[in-house]
Structure 1
Amino acid sequence: MDQTLPAPAPSTRWTRFHGVRRAFRNLVLRGALLELVTFGFYRFWLATDIRRHLWSHTLVDGDPLEYVGRARELLIGFLIATAILMPAYLVYFLVGIEAERVQAFASLPLSLFLYLFAQFAIYRARRYRVTRTVWRGLRFTMTGSGIGYAWRAALWDLAVLLSLGAALPWRQAALERYRMRHTAYGDLQGGFDGTGRELFRRGWHLWLLTVPALLTIIPLPFLIAAWRATMLQWWVSNVRFGEVRFHSYLERKALFGIYWKATGWWVLLGTLMGLWVSGIFGLAAALAQPAPDGTPDYAAAFAHPLALAGLGLGYLLMALAAGVVVRIYLTRDIWARIVETTAVYGLEAADHATGQGEAVDAIGEGFAGGLDLNIGGL
């Protein structure tokens, strides 16, 4: 760790992460290979394995978290979500056959529908993960309405758009308050005390640097890492369950190295993908048959099934490799960094917590899969 943490007070407890990075790397590499041979269906089992690894190696006052979700639940949720989403895609397809002009008009309501469903999926997916999390034999619970969250998110996103991003801190605070007031550990009610004003005060200069960073590109990983660290430190430090409170000592510079390593891998993967595509096109051009005018028929060569198969395979390998990078660096490493810098206060209030609530279905996770959402890398 590169943070120097203050000496804990007698009533302070710490969270710890004792997972072995090599074991996690092997887990995601094996999972990527299985995703390849199963055409992506292994991702439900991989997501479950990742959560079990992270949860079980996270200790709160010496006691590990436990993830009790099952891959079969995620698969069933995905199939149900697909059955719900398919009619919308089918209507859009049929409209497109009728007229391109009508199809262009229909794309707006379809996009709005998918956006709202994405917000619904984000909330329900978090609700699923929360209710599959156990600590000291007691399960966390989460209620609330995915639909209610979706329209709140939509209104806040409109405000963010109209304010050119300035309203983002208030959006984050409002939505997190909604999520946490419907979350509990046993009978300890969750809450969130963070404010948009506090987050804006911490990150307003990062917001001002967004346009220069986009123009120069190179400092962008620094900006993203600094904003992510600011957000996470603010979030952890304002979460509570009854009298149990948390505080994060995560420094803003703590994620710089992680994001630069991930960026380096993405540049390498992009370069390899470019070489792969160039090789495919070069081979297709070499095999191109002459057109009637005697010039090579490149269009026919590039449309050859072997060329298309090569491009498809390259894209699939690129996507799987990028997923490995995200899971190792932006999921596992950031998770470990947060856990290692978090203190817990008033944990004795959890000693007498009693269970309540019920586990929920995985339909929200299914929507997330159907819409290709990557929720926190998990």
Structure 2
Amino acid sequence: MTDFTTTGGVRPQFDGEARHMRPLVLKGLLLTLLTLGVYRFWYQTDVRRFLWSRTAIEGDGLEYTGRGLELFLGFLIALAVLIPAYVIIALLSFAGGPILQVAAQFAFSLAIVFLAQYALYRARRYRLSRTLWRGVRLGQTGSGWAYAGRCFGWGLLTVLTLGLAYPFMRASLERYKMNNTWYGDQQGRFTATGGQLFRQGVPLWFLVAVLIAVPAALLASAAANAPDAGRELGRAGWLGMLFLFAAVPVILAVMAIYQALEFRWWANGVHVGPASARCDLGLFAFLKTYLGYVLALLLFSIATAVVFAVVGAALGGTAALREGGAPALVFTAIAYLATLLGYAALGQLYVVRPLWKKSFESVTLTGLGALVAAQSTEPPANAFGEGVADALDFGAGF
């Protein structure tokens, strides 16, 4: 399992193939649908255990000790906290005038954004406190409120600079998270800078800016020259629409490339005690994964369309289904749920799993020998933060 590089480093190995994960995913998604979403906490836990346990460093796998019941209880506690806030805002909106209503909605939106960042920080603490390697627990200190405040301030600056401040925001937030990350009694730190990420990512920023600005300018010109709403778009308008449709897949590809670039930048800046990481992830590694997922979705959609067409014909054809009745409702419900289940399963198998594999296996770890003496000191965290993230529908990630 161990892969030693020529410089003495160690590469983690992941041996979780799609065929190993498929039964877990299908069972979890099916039970989640049958229980109207309640089982998703146990399903999420099973997926994490699969990913963690199949990831080995120097032959020893990671261990995830979280439980689905913890996530479910954290979600219920979060709902008990958030529902009264929703009710208060709704009452203020109905009782006050238009100005109070707009002010209340705006304040509530800002509060949700702030609370979401707090929840995501606490969710990270929960996941780390449930992760062990060689019997030593990871942990996270620091304040979720302080982190949320940093996110809020940096987010405002990022919006005002049209995204140019984003690399510096990422560096600041990652520095705060890693400085409060522990492997036993060994503290983490983050040495990558925002300037490094800015220099690597700014060409992609300019490319996206051009892809957005050009069709916007063409469409604005067409609108200015066509005061009559019923008039045709003209050459500029059609050119703008064509450019826009062509730009969308390019922008999505650029986002995948930037995601790989950012992960490589992040991994190269991570240190825990005397251990450090070096990453050689290719810029197109994540893009290839997403393209494979799109192809899988296309093939699955064609296959399901053929199957449902054959079954529909056997039930009397589309005319009979359009007439309604119990058979039509049952057939439509089954078709919808089967399609939803298939799309979700493909996402786990051909996005989450391969991205996890490529991310870990692109990293070379050095200085692990000095971590042998690390001792667990941080007590396990509760799942309240992760419950808030789920209740806000932000998700806690993997």
Shorter-chain TM band:
0.7 to 0.9
Stretch of structure 1 that moved more, 67-76 or 347-356: 347-356
- Aligned match of 1:176: 174
Aligned equivalent of 1:246, options 261, 277, 292: 277
**Structure 1 residue 217: deviation in Å?**
1.1
How far apart, in 2, do the equivalents of 1:322 and 1:91 lie? 37
Which string of whole-angstrom CA distances, capped at 9 and with x for unpartnered residues, describes residues 204-223 of structure 1? 11111223555311223321
1:88-145 per-position Cα deviation (integer Å, ceiling 9, x unaligned)? 1112332344367243332101111111111011100001000100000110111111
What's the offset of the Cα at 1:284? 12
Indicate which of 353, 367, 375 corresponds to 1:354.
375
Partner of 2:81: 84
Q: Tell me by how many angstroms 1:52 deviates.
A: 0.5
Q: Equivalent residue for 1:110? A: 108
Counterpart in 1 of 2:255? 224
Shift of 1:368: 1.1
> What is residue 236 of structure 1 aligned with on the other side?
267
Is the 2:386–2:396 Cα contact (8 Å) retained in structure 1?
no
1:336 pairs with 2:333: no
Aligned-partner residue type, residue 9 of structure 2: T
Look up the equivalent residue of 2:88 and give its one-letter code.
Answer: V
Q: 1:32 aligns with which of 29, 32, 42?
A: 29
Local SS of the residue matching 1:139: strand
Per-residue deviation, 1:265: 5.1
Deviations 1:163-213 (A, max 9, x none): 100111111110000001111111111011110001111111111122355
What's the offset of the Cα at 1:325? Answer: 3.4
What's the CA shift for 1:307?
A: 11
Answer whether contact 2:322 2:328 (CA < 8 A) is retained. Answer: no
| Whole-Å separation in 2 of the counterparts to 1:341 and 1:127 | 24
Q: 2:137 aligns with which of 136, 139, 149?
A: 139
TM-score in terms of structure 2 length: 0.80
- Is the contact between residue 221 and residue 256 of structure 1 (CA under 8 Å) also seen in structure 2? no
**Structure 1 29/190 Cα, relative in aligned 2: closer, same or farther at 3 Å?**
same
Note the residue ranges of structure 1 that are not aligned, 5 or more in a row: 1-5, 289-303
Is the CA contact (8 Å cut-off) linking 1:11 and 1:346 kept in structure 2? no
Contact 2:321-2:328 at 8 Å conserved across structures: no
Identical-residue share of aligned pairs (%): 38
What is the CA distance between 1:49 and its match in structure 2?
0.5
TM-score, normalisation: structure 1: 0.84
Moved more, 352-361 or 204-213: 204-213
Q: Distance in 2 between matches of 1:283 and 1:269?
A: 25
Q: Which aligned pairs between 1:222-301 and structure 2 lie closer than 5 A?
A: 222-264=253-295
Q: Counterparts of 1:2-151 in structure 2 under 5 Å?
A: 8-98=5-95, 101=98, 102-151=100-149
* Higher mean C-alpha deviation, range 349-358 or range 146-155: 349-358
Counterpart residue type for residue 218 of structure 1:
P
Residue aligning to 1:202: 200
Return the offset for 1:24. Answer: 1.2
User: 1:236 deviation in Å?
Assistant: 1.1
CA deviation after TM superposition for structure 1 residue 7, in Å: 7.8
Q: Which of 350, 372, 377 does residue 393 from structure 2 map onto? A: 372
What is the rounded CA distance, in whole Å, between the counterparts of 1:151 and 1:309 in structure 2? 49
How far apart in 2 are the matches of 1:90 and 1:305?
Answer: 38
Closer, same or farther in 2 for the Cα pair 1:45/1:111, shift >3 Å? same
Q: 1:179 to 1:100 in 2, by over 3 A?
A: same
Q: Which amino acid aligns with 1:20?
A: E
Instruction: Write the distance in 1 (CA, Å) between the matches of 2:341 and 2:259.
Output: 24
